Amino acid sequence: MTRASVPKSRQPNGASTIYLGKDGRWHGRVTVGVKDDGTPDRRHVSRKTRAEVTKVVRELERLRDRGTVRKAGQSWTVKTWLSHWVENIAATHVSENTIDGYRVAVYHHLIPGLGAHRLEKLDAEHLERFYKKMQDNGSAAGTAHQAHRTIRTALNEAVRRQHLTSNPASIAKAPKVEEEEVEPYTVEEVQHLLAEAGKHRNAARWVIALALGLRQGEVLGMQWDDIDFELGVIRVRRGRLRPRYKHGCGDRCGRKPGFCPQKINTRRETKNAKSRAGQRPIGVPEELLQLLRQHREEQARERARARDLWTEKGYVFTSPTGEPLNPNTDYHKWKELLKAAGVRDARLHDARHTAATVLLILGVSDAVVDSIMGWEPGKSARMRRRYQHLTSRVLKDTAAKVGGLLWGATQAAGSPAPEAGQSPVPAELVVHVARLGERRVPFLHREHADEVVKRWRNDWPDHTAEVEEWDRWRWEHQGPDGASAIRDCMPERAVIFHARALFLPGGERVAAGVPEQWSVPAWDFETDRYTDRVSAWRTARRPGSGQEVEAQVRGTDKAAVEAAFAEACAQAVDRARNPGRYGDTDEW
């Protein structure tokens, strides 16, 4: 057989191919998986030069090996994917209230603003410009943030199903939402509200909101079986859902479905509490239990008057015919109550803030507050900070109660009042905070704070260094880490020695912007600069186009740091020359 007749070797099945086509262009084909019908999913690319098509083929192979190749099939736009996701995926897996929020975000904001984009072409910058445009057009920051959360969830599902390789909404900066400072009602305002509520139907509904802090849905979904009058306990088990109506007249009345005379509710009335923390027992004061007994008797009279019009469903708070209350109607009743009582306007949910504040004033433990309010572990500390706001009036009332408790007996016995300028608060109730630049370090004893500030001024003369006096309660509720951060002794201080070098690919050393070796005084609360080890070193490849390798050493012993620096530099040079050996990358 002659050399010319030797058959051309055949590529194995599934291998990538690159060839010059009859059209004069270079083509590449890469097998990336299997299609839904079982046939190979072989992708085709075409470029003018062999180098260009080789680069694209290698990139496809890397994506295939990482499992991040976009799934073949329908070419999604943002509009078609969001519509499919919200109706066919999310709607079957989330609660009714959640899907309502998703639909508003999708159909009122996301599709009109972003729907024309190809799904795989959507960038984080598109989203950030869209959020800004929403707010420029009058949408609240919270509305823009809800749109961000919705599209992030939808695109996470697209990534999971391999319609996308990454989620741009996870990269985009979310709109910043400032938490609104809520002022709870004072004791006098609560008394005015309760006095006015007593003149109206379902008075106990507002007492429960203001005294126990139950959410609107929890109160409206409560049934008589949830109240144990003998034990004095309410068991929160479910929440009222907002009704969703359709026409019962065949859409002939010309009104919206909710105003149709023959409207039909297409949604269940309640749902179970969504978490174990939400399903909770709450102790009820005897006065409120008595009010609920009176309410039950009044409901029995209404049932007798309504006769066959009454629908018995077991709810505690109902319409005059036994139906559960509509949340929208309940909201308007709240606004009417505020106006009639002559009390400043506020959201219905703000009654919950008032209840949380009352619990704080009464000194109820955090664990009990979490149980009453229905806060999940892990989120409770943040929720307490959010809900338990104290107005100036509440602070004064609390201070008076504490003063009477701690010093009332002494003052009554004839002890002199504090002199002018002297703090009436005992020293142990004051926290001495060393303010060191942007850092605040709390101390139980003033001399420790003074010593740290003095040394800090010597070490860092250009930084702020002073002692602040904080009320103990203020520090525990507003200071970083609360009571656990307060120190009862002097912190440790050491001199830390540093060494650093930078190497280019190939091992050439480059000049750095900081000295090769330096030392710095550090306290044990400065975790970013402090180490208690004699020496510790590491090498790392820096992100970016330069691909430099950095060697870093620090420790408490100068000689040990110098010895470790030589070892770190040796590894950094080897790492710069052989990146694949350290798992950095196989190509530059």
Positions annotated as catalytic residues are: 215, 246, 349, 352, 375, 387
Scanning the structure block, which residue is given the tokens 């806060």? 375
How far is the CA of 257 from the CAs of 108, 246, 269, in angstroms?
19, 5, 17
Return the amino acid letter for 8. Answer: K
Token output for 559: 């000689």
Contact 269, 96 (CB under 8 A): no
β-strand partners of 500: 552
Angle formed by the axes of helices 350-361 and 366-373, to 10°?
160
Token output for 464: 């702020």
Rounded (10°) CA dihedral 211, 213, 218, 223:
-20
Contact 306, 321 (CB under 8 A): yes
Angle formed by the axes of helices 380-387 and 350-361, to 10°?
100
Q: How far apart are CA 341 and CA 347, in angstroms?
A: 15
DSSP-assigned letter for residue 82: H
Determine phi and psi for 6, rounding to 5 degrees.
-65, 125
CA-closest candidate to residue 152, choices 205, 110, 104? 110
Burial 10-42 (b: 16+ CB within 10 A, else e): eeeeeebebeeeeeeebbbbbbbeeeeeeeebe
28 Cβ contact partners less than 8 Å away, ≥ 6 residues apart: 16, 17, 18, 44, 45, 46, 47, 53, 54, 56, 57, 60
Token output for 47: 């470029």
Q: Map residue 123 onto helix, strand or coil.
A: coil
Q: How far apart are CA 262 and CA 264, in angstroms?
A: 7
β-strand partners of 435: 440, 466
Q: How far apart are CA 584 and CA 80, in angstroms?
A: 39
Q: How far apart are CA 564 and CA 11, in angstroms?
A: 51
How far is the CA of 521 from the CAs of 410, 489, 524, in angstroms?
48, 19, 10
CA-closest candidate to residue 484, choices 493, 475, 497, 492? 475
Contact 264, 245 (CB under 8 A): yes
Return the amino acid letter for 229. Answer: F
CA-closest candidate to residue 441, choices 467, 472, 473? 467
How far is the CA of 80 from the CAs of 91, 148, 153, 243, 501, in angstroms?
16, 18, 15, 28, 52
Residue 278: Cβ within 10 Å count: 17
Secondary structure (DSSP) of 311-361: ----BSSB-TTSPBPPHHHHHHHHHHHHHHHT-----TTHHHHHHHHHHHH
Token output for 489: 């002794």
